[in-house]
Structures are given as structure tokens and as C-alpha cells.
Structure 1
Amino acid sequence: MSGRIIPPSGPPRVLALAQLANAFGDGAYYVCSALYFTRVVGLSPTQVGFGLTLGWALGSVAGVPLGHLADRRGARGTAALLAVATGAAVGSFLSVRSFAVFVLAACLYTCCQCGLGAARQALLAGLVDRTERTRIRAHLQATVNAGLAVGAALGGLALYFDTRQAYLAVLAMDALSFLASALVLLRLPAVPPSPPAPAGQPVLAVLRDRPYALVSLLNMIMLLYMPLLSLAIPLWIVERTRAPGWTVSALLVLNTLSVVFFQVRVARRVTDLGTASRSVRRAGLVMLASCAVFALSAAGSSPWAAAAVLLVAACLQVLGEMMLASGAWEIGFDLAPPDRQGQYQGFFGAGTAVARMLGPLLLTTLIVTWGPPGWFLLGALFVLAGSAMGPAVRWAERSRAASADALQPVSSS
């Protein structure tokens, strides 16, 4: 069982330990942050939503230059520095007393988080053989989900006590967890920095890489599943179905444990760009099936029947999620130049920030307001994006092959 979660010894296991260290704190933070900002700080839900939306918008932009910094200055040191900065940003939430200060702290937090994600991916790319990256990334994801689950349980204790001191303790724990992660990252071997871009070539080459931009856009569309479990599905269950309230928690537990125990197994099927593209295409089809079953959950009159339908839909959703993740990791790594992994991973990872920024409004409109037709429209969007990934990847491969041929010296006869 542990072989499905714990990565091999050496740098992969240290990377997992670093991410596990702050996953505990993040899990508790995700559970408690909204109530802390509204009940303790005194912000309105609209103010919290605006601050986080603006923050993730800036974070999606900041990931590329911070990833480039990891390329040029070394991924290990940059990742450790950004982990410390993220911890400081979380710590600043402890002293927030006004909306303006909250917005500044939220922007600092999201920018550091996006940069840290890019630096960690660059570190993984520099320390792990190309053929093993997707498998190791799956191990890391399983480890992180396990840590988030434990952290969420700790956050649940703070919700139970529902006091200012309990919420402050959660934020302090999250800040310290990032500092612990930074210390663990420093135990890794150093990754040599990349040389500067040759004269005449752009520093941030990813911004001119149209095939990679298309691949990243398609991945961003697929990532709209992310706000489903945290926002859209709970609202759907409460407002559109007769399922009991505990179904929301059951679906979250099912999703978390499925990733912990099965993500590595699903990722084994992805070995190259061809299998990665097929995995993403199939993920779109599975997500369509999931959306269709979620739509059917509103038709039942029995609470238990509705809960059973929702559990089936959630099983399909998490399967599609794991298939998408496995394919996307391979594509994001393999299409990035070896010496520019940081900036490319920052660009590819911006899809997560954009999904967090746009997803809540889009999904609540599609699903809660429109009902079953919105579910089918969302499923169709997943199918279209998943089906387009294969042609987009082949375009990127042809573009790279053409660039490589152009750099070959011309032989004189």
C-alpha cells in the first residue's frame, strides 16, 4: 500500500516530504480561511471574494517571471525562498484588520504560491529523469492529498471550537509549515542554473510559444473541475437535490482518498506524449459522463437514491481528474525546454490560478442557476478541450522539430 503513495528514496522522497510538510497547514487553512476572514477580521464575503480573485489574477501572471528566476538562479534556492515568502504571507493574515491590507496580503500570498509551484516543478524536472517525472509527480500528488486530509481534520477542530484563538492557531500552523517545507527543500541537491538566453532570443520565451500556449489553455479549461467539489457541487446538493447534507463531506472524502490510493496507478499508463494525449482525451469523456450523472441526481425523490447517484458521479469525476492530471503532467514537462522548465511550468501552472479565479462564477452560473442543461454544457466543454489536446500536442511537437532543424548547421559540399 505504501508503494502507491510514498515515492522512491532520494530526491523524490525529500520532495514529497517538503510538500507534505506544508500540506498539513494548507489543509487546515483551506477549511478555516473563509470563516476567519469573515468572522474574525470582519470582512464581507464579497470583499473576500474580490481580494482572492484579484490575487489569483496576479498570481497567474507572476508564475512565469518567478519560474524564470528559478531557472536562472537555481530551482532549489528559489523554491526555498518562495516557501519562506509564502509562509510570511500567511503570517501577515494574522495582523489583517482592514480590507485594503487584506487585498495586499492576498496578492502576496497568491503570487508566492504560484511562483513556489513553478519552482518546485522546475526542481522536480532537474532532479528526476525525464521518463520518471510523471510517475514521481503522481506520488507527490498522492502524498499532498494525504497531508491535506489530515490538515482538514485539524481545521475541523478549529471550526468546532469556533474561536478567534483557534483560527489564529490554524494560520500560524500554516505559516510555520511553509518554513518547515523550506528547510526540507534545502536538503535536496542543487540544480545548476540555466545559462542566459542567447542574444536576439526573448528572455521569457514561453510567452511567444503559441503551441505551448494552446496546450496550456486547453489544460486550463479542463481544470475547471477544481471548483466543483469545493463550491458548485455543495450548492447543487443543497439547492437542487434531496440528498442529505452529509453527502457533501462524503464526496470530499471519496475524492481525497481516491487520489491518495489510485493516482499513482492511473499515472502508470502515461509514458509519453501519445499516451498523455489519449489520457486527457479520455478524461474529457469520463468528465462528460460524470456531469450527466450529476444532472440526473436532481431527478430522484428519495434522499438515499440521490446520494447514491451523487456517489457514482463523484467516482467518475475523480477518475477523470486523475486521468487528466497524469496526462497534463507529462505534456507540461515534455514540451518545455530543459533549460527553461521554471518559466514554462509557471505558465502551464497559471491554469490552476485562472480556474480558481473564474471557476466559481462560471460554475455557479452554469450549474446552480441553469440546472441540468448547465451540467451537460460543462461536460461538452470538457470533451471539446480533451479532444483538442492531441492535435495541439502534435502541433507543438512539429514546432519543436522545425526549430531544431533550423538550428542545425548547414553542411557545405
Structure 2
Amino acid sequence: MKPPRVLALAQLMNSIGDGAYYVTSALYFARTVGLTPAQIGFGLTLGWVVGSVVGVPLGNLADRRGARGTAVLLALATAIAVASFLFVRSFPLFAVAAVLYASCQCGLLAARQALLAGLVEQVRRTEVRAFLQSTTNAGLAVGAALGGLALQSDTREAYLAIFVMDAVSFLTAALVLSRLPVVAPAKAKPGEPRLAVLHDRPYAVVTMINAVMLFYMPLISLVIPLWIVQQTQAPTWTVSALLVLNTLSVVAFQVRVARRVRGLRSASRVVRHAGLVMFSACAVFALSAIGSSAWTAGLILLAAAGLQVLGEMMLASGAWEISFELAPADKQGQYQGFFGTGQAIARMLGPLVLTTLLLGWGAPGWLLLGVLFAAAGIAMGPAVRWAERTRAQSDRPAAVSPQ
């Protein structure tokens, strides 16, 4: 089996477990463990804060010790982290388990990206990454359906079975990843810093711009459902309809969208267009509160969600290309680990910012968010060109001093 298919199979295995975990974990921690919503939120936030920090050195470990071995070990460690939730009976233990889980997940993402960069030729990386993303969404959908069965049962045993299934899914992913070819570790160059990405200011700016645009993530999972219920006349089942539309669209069209990206110029252009599409989506979402009938509001929401998922797929395709192309070949792990902090930032800050902006301000808040998306998309091009210039200067041979 070719490496992209092996990577996709591993991604499918653990995304099924993750889908079930995401659907059921909050209720398990609240009803079975007895944690308060504030404790759950703080523990998960703490986990992703620590995970975003340790993802960079774990990515560097993949560069220096081998991406395949590191990915296998982190998949095994994630399985242990998930299994540890079975023994959580207090908030301190929950916080420790959450930190372990998020740290392993962030490191595993970086190691997998390094594996992809080492096993797939440069011109196909973004397309293969899109294939993996569509596979992930398919697995999440299947897992969410299985999690729904546990929610319907609403018993301690059903929730525990989901955690066991998630742990087994990561064990299976580790086994699948071990079948990949070995990616030779890169040797550190004399005199260079261990974590060179922390000294790369242009790459940091690119990462932060991407983090701003990733605020669409809590938009889908948290804010839009609340907006539909509190601010529109649309029926409550519209929440499920929009989530299904998003998932199926990524599964069906992400690879096609990614094929439009060939190099940094096209990637910057696609990200700029993604920002404008997201602006349009926000404007249409704002209109959904005006509709006086359920059908009108529902149709407006479907149109807005269609624009949103198109912008999401365009952003992902451009961002993947940029993150790979701007990373040195021998430092893909640590660079991908750093780029992945954008997701952690969106998960940490997005819920607070977006609920305040959209549920508090209404239509003006939607328009302001749209302007933010558009501005970030436009800013990506200059930031990428700055990064390109710094790399061209560093690659330029030093002048020989006269004797």
C-alpha cells in the first residue's frame, strides 16, 4: 500500500474514535465524573495551552529521531492518555489527563505532517493533505454517529465504551503507521538553535494570520448552533443540517479545491479569496436573523453555511501549501508543530471572542468578523512574500572577503 493510503488509513482509524469522543466527553465528565462546566472548560483550555507549547519540541523530536518512530510512540501515548480518562474521579486528575491528551495530540499532528513531507513529493503534498482531511471528516462523521448511540443510552457503561473505543483507535493507528517506510532523521547543523522556528519571525506572522482565520472552527461547533436557536426563526434541526453539509462538503470537495494550489503564489491567492468568501458568509449569516419565517431563515442559513465551508476548504488548501513550502526540509516537524498552534489559539480564544461578538452584538458583530477574515486573508500575501525574501537571503552564499 502506498504511503498516502497508509496515512489515510491511520487517520481514519483514530478520527472515528475522536468523533465519538468529541460528542460524548463533555457529558461524561459532567454526569459521570461530576465536574462543573467551568472545571471542564478550564481543564481543556489548560490542556490545549500546554499542548500548543510542547507540540514544537515534539515536532523537533520527529525531525531529529525519525518521524515514523515518533508518530508511532505519540499514537501509543495518546491511547494511554485517552484510557487515563477512565480513572479520572477528580478535577486535578482530569486536568493532568487533559494536558497529557492535548500534548500527545499536538505532537502527533506535527509528526504526521513531518511524515507526509518526508514520504510524498513536494508537488503533491497539499493534494495528499487534502485527501487526509477528507478522510478525517468521514471518520469523524462515523464516530459522531457512534457517539450518538452512547448519548441515547446515557449510561456510564456506554460512555466508558466510547473511551475504550477511542483508545483502541489510536492503538490501531500506531500499528498502521508502523507499516510506513522509515524517514531518515535530519542532523542539526552546527551553531543553529535547536528550535529554529522560534527565531523565524515571518513564519510566526504567517501562523498568527492563519490562527485568526481558524476562528471559523468554534464558529461551526459552538456559535452558529447558539445563533440559530437564540436569534433566528429556523427550526432546531437546522443545526444538524449545517453540520452534515459541512462534513459532507469537505469529504466530497476538499481534494478538488486543493488541486488549484500549486506553489506559494497560488496558495496566497487562494487564502485571500478564502477571506473574501468568509466575509460573504458572515454577511449572509447576519441576514438570517431578519427572516420572519422558519423556511426563509433556514434557506439563508444553508446559503451562508455553503459559503462558509467553501472558504474553509480554500483556507485549508492554501495554508497547507504555505506551511510546507516555507518550512526548511530538515525541520518540517518543528515548523508544523508551530503552525499547528493556530488551531490551539482558535480553540482557546474563539469561543469567548465569538460568543461576545456575535451573540452580544448581532448583525454588526457578524460584519466585523467578516472584515477580520477578509483583512487576514489579504494580509497573508505580503507575509508570505516577506518569508520568501528572508529565505532567499539566508540561502545566498556569503561574500568572500579579500585576502
Q: Same fold (TM over 0.5)?
A: yes
Q: Secondary structure at the match of 1:124?
A: helix
Is contact 1:197-1:203 (8 Å) kept?
Answer: no
Residue from 376, 379, 384 that aligns with 1:388: 379
For residue 16 of structure 2, what is the aligned residue in structure 1?
24
| 1:306-340 deviations in Å (ceiling 9; x for gaps) | 11100000000000000000000000000000000
Runs of 4+ in 1 over 4 A off after TM superposition: none
For residue 271 of structure 2, what is the aligned residue in structure 1?
280
For residue 339 of structure 1, what is the aligned residue in structure 2?
330
CA distance in 2 between partners of 1:276 and 1:342 (Å) = 21
User: How far is the alpha carbon of 1:186 from its aligned partner?
Assistant: 0.3
Residue from 61, 64, 67 that aligns with 1:72: 64
| 1:181-210 deviations in Å (ceiling 9; x for gaps) | 0000000000001102312x2110000000
CA distance in 2 between partners of 1:58 and 1:364 (Å) = 24
TM-score by length of 1: 0.96
For residue 366 of structure 2, what is the aligned residue in structure 1?
375
CA distance in 1 between partners of 2:296 and 2:173 (Å) = 44
CA distance in 2 between partners of 1:369 and 1:94 (Å) = 38
Q: Secondary structure at the match of 1:196?
A: coil
Q: Secondary structure at the match of 1:25?
A: helix
CA distance in 2 between partners of 1:80 and 1:365 (Å) = 40
Q: Which range moved further: 351-360 or 313-322?
A: 351-360
| 1:219-264 deviations in Å (ceiling 9; x for gaps) | 0000000011110000101111111010000000000000000000
Is 1:34 matched up with 2:26? yes
Query: Aligned runs of 1:157-236 on 2, under 5 Å?
Result: 157-199=149-191, 201-236=192-227
For residue 5 of structure 1, what is the aligned residue in structure 2?
none
Query: Aligned runs of 1:12-411 on 2, under 5 Å?
Result: 12-199=4-191, 201-405=192-396, 407-408=397-398, 410=400
The one-letter code matched in structure 2 to 1:295 is A
Q: CA RMSD in A?
A: 1.1
CA distance in 2 between partners of 1:197 and 1:366 (Å) = 47
CA distance in 1 between partners of 2:294 and 2:90 (Å) = 43
The one-letter code matched in structure 2 to 1:188 is L
For residue 10 of structure 1, what is the aligned residue in structure 2?
2
CA distance in 1 between partners of 2:272 and 2:20 (Å) = 34
User: How far is the alpha carbon of 1:368 from its aligned partner?
Assistant: 1.0
User: How far is the alpha carbon of 1:67 from its aligned partner?
Assistant: 0.3
| 1:163-193 deviations in Å (ceiling 9; x for gaps) | 1111110111001100100000000000001
CA distance in 2 between partners of 1:137 and 1:290 (Å) = 25
Change (3 A) 1:195 1:157: same
CA distance in 2 between partners of 1:182 and 1:254 (Å) = 31
Change (3 A) 1:75 1:351: same
Is contact 1:223-1:355 (8 Å) kept?
Answer: yes
| 1:271-305 deviations in Å (ceiling 9; x for gaps) | 00000000000000000000000010001110111
| Equivalenced residues, count | 403
Structure 1 residues not aligned, in runs of 5+:
1-8
User: How far is the alpha carbon of 1:354 from its aligned partner?
Assistant: 1.1
CA distance in 1 between partners of 2:21 and 2:267 (Å) = 33
| 1:56-91 deviations in Å (ceiling 9; x for gaps) | 111111110000000010000000100111111111
> Percent identity, aligned pairs only?
71
CA distance in 2 between partners of 1:185 and 1:395 (Å) = 36
User: How far is the alpha carbon of 1:411 from its aligned partner?
Assistant: 8.6
TM-score by length of 2: 0.99
User: How far is the alpha carbon of 1:410 from its aligned partner?
Assistant: 3.3
User: How far is the alpha carbon of 1:349 from its aligned partner?
Assistant: 0.6
Q: Which range moved further: 322-331 or 157-166?
A: 157-166
User: How far is the alpha carbon of 1:408 from its aligned partner?
Assistant: 4.6
CA distance in 1 between partners of 2:86 and 2:308 (Å) = 36
For residue 3 of structure 1, what is the aligned residue in structure 2?
none
